[in-house]
């Protein structure tokens, strides 16, 4: 069975600038998360949790080591299609409606046509933004509504993770 997430010897160093050396953010991270397993990455501030996640998501390249998502090398389009991601503090263009936001993410995932429109309706209902709420501009949404719209956007491609 292919692991949902696997890392081997993952390492990330950041250059501090001219003559200031380097900072080691992650060293030798090796882990395997099985499909269906719930996994938490815990540690104190500055311990490399966010850096590790960014490497797994393909947002940062590791200095060395490797990461895989559902058997695909992290950062590849195939790996990215497996992931639904909602950052802690997302930015959404506030002139879009909830439905338009989900449509945007769906098109980025290669979706379109009637199947995308059907998925938009399903997700708006799932996150309780169906009906009129899904067609209101994001600028009128409460913080909770924005979080739910973001969750729907993360789920539009039916990701494995």
Cβ count near 142 (within 10 Å): 8
pLDDT digits (tens, 9 = 90+) for 129-154: 999 999 999 999 999 999 999 999 99
pLDDT digits (tens, 9 = 90+) for 37-96: 999 999 999 999 999 999 999 999 999 999 999 999 999 988 988 999 888 888 899 999
Distance CA 145, CA 148 (A): 5
What's this model's pTM, rounded to 2 decimal places? 0.77
Contacts of 137 (CB under 8 A, 6+ apart): 94, 95, 96, 97
**Residue boundaries of the structural domains of the chain:** 5-75, 98-155
Distance CA 158, CA 146 (A): 20
pLDDT digits (tens, 9 = 90+) for 15-39: 887 778 889 999 999 999 999 999 9
């Amino acid at each position: 069975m292919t692991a949902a997430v696997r890392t081997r010897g993952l390492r990330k160093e950041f250059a501090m600038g001219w003559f200031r050396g380097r900072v080691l953010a992650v060293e030798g991270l090796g882990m395997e998360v099985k499909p269906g397993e719930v996994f938490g990455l815990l540690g104190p501030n500055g311990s490399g949790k966010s850096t590790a996640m960014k490497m797994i998501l393909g947002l940062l390249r590791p200095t060395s080591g490797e990461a895989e998502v559902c058997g695909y090398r992290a950062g590849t389009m195939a790996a990215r299609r497996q992931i639904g991601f909602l950052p802690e503090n997302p930015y959404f263009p506030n002139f879009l409606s909830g439905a338009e936001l989900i449509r945007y993410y769906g098109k980025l995932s290669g979706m379109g046509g009637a199947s995308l429109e059907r998925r938009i309706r399903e997700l708006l209902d799932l996150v309780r933004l169906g009906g009129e709420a899904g067609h209101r501009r994001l600028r009128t949404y409460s913080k909770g509504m924005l979080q739910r719209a973001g969750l729907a956007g993360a789920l539009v491609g039916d990701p494995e993770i």
